[in-house]
Amino acid sequence: MEPQPLHTPVLLERCLELLAPSIGVGRKVVVDATLGMGGHAEAMLERFPEVHLVGLDRDTDALGIAGERLARFGDRIDLVHTVYDGIGDALESLDIETVDGILFDLGVSSVQLDRSERGFAYSRNAPLDMRMDQTSGATAAEVIATYEERDLRRIFHQYGEERLAARYAQRIVAARAEAPIETSERLVAILQEATPAALSRAGHPAKRVFQALRIEVNRELSVLEDAIPEALGRVSVGGRIVVMSYQSLEDRIVKRALQAVTRSTAPAGLPVELPEHRPEFRLLTRGAEIASDDERAANPRATPVRLRAAERTRGTT
């Protein structure tokens, strides 16, 4: 595999600061559920010399790059090829019941964005693939070719929050009847032609459509809805979970999942909260934290990030 330029991990110091109380002392286990190129993982292994890291990723390219980067840590790492909703099965395969820290860095990884042939970037011409795991599943080109107009409209509206969803879906269906839409260049051209001039100045017309296709191809939201509760269930008392989201739909799912475990379950009107009704977790952030102006300037990929974190305060009943 060709050497890859090392990317700058988003909110690295803040993630380490939040995880340190649970993984900083003693032989602890931490899961990087979205390993990517291994930037956060490498920093955790360096900063906390007794930590054992379990790295998960659905992208075989990313696993290869991270494996080379982290090889010097020897038996302190276990890398698993899986989507992050498979965190439970991955830990069971390693005979690990609970962990002391979990990190999610959602969205598209640097290796996916930087390799133009993967088809994630609307600014570069490439086959419309967009699969994070290139070993399985339908490509974006197959979605474009086979989905009915109403389904394309639905995903553009639901996953891209695109107000021209109906117009774009109609134009795509008309265009594919003439010739297959197999490259990002052709799809972008169709979207640009369908965009009224007054709206084209508000941002690139392909941005939201490409986001919607990527989410649909990789089932990102449904996977996340399963993954966060599964991960929370694996955190030991005193352990922490840190989640970074990059768009509002992801952040909404994370927010709801954390709210559910940080609320008391005591019935309304109960004069005294019994121990079994106390929340299982406490929030470590007030709302969602964002990157500083300096970090956004130095690392543009940090611009949309929203970080939330929580700590387990008691075991399940």
Number of Cβ atoms within 10 Å of the Cβ of 283: 15
Chain centre distance of CA 47: 24
Which residues on adjacent β-strands are paired with residue 104? 243
SS3 (DSSP) at 311: strand
CA dihedral 193, 199, 200, 206 (to 10 degrees): -70
SS3 (DSSP) at 38: coil
Give CA separation, 30 vs 90, 208, 258, 296, 306, in Å: 13, 34, 19, 27, 21
Which DSSP letter does residue 181 get? -
Q: Could you give the count of Cα atoms lying within 13 Å of 32 in the half-sphere of its Cβ?
A: 29
φ/ψ (deg, to 5) at 314: -155, 160
Which DSSP letter does residue 3 get? -
84 annotated to bind ligand: yes
The letter for the amino acid at 200 is S
Q: How far apart are CA 213 and CA 169, in angstroms?
A: 12
Under a CB-based contact definition with an 8 Å cutoff, are residues 77 and 99 in contact? Answer: no
CA dihedral 47, 48, 53, 55 (to 10 degrees): -20
Residue 169's contacts (CB-CB under 8 Å, 6 or more residues apart) are: 149, 150, 152, 153, 156
Q: Which residues are annotated as a binding site?
A: 38-40, 57, 84, 105, 112
Q: Which residues are annotated as a binding site for S-adenosyl-L-methionine?
A: 38-40, 57, 84, 105, 112
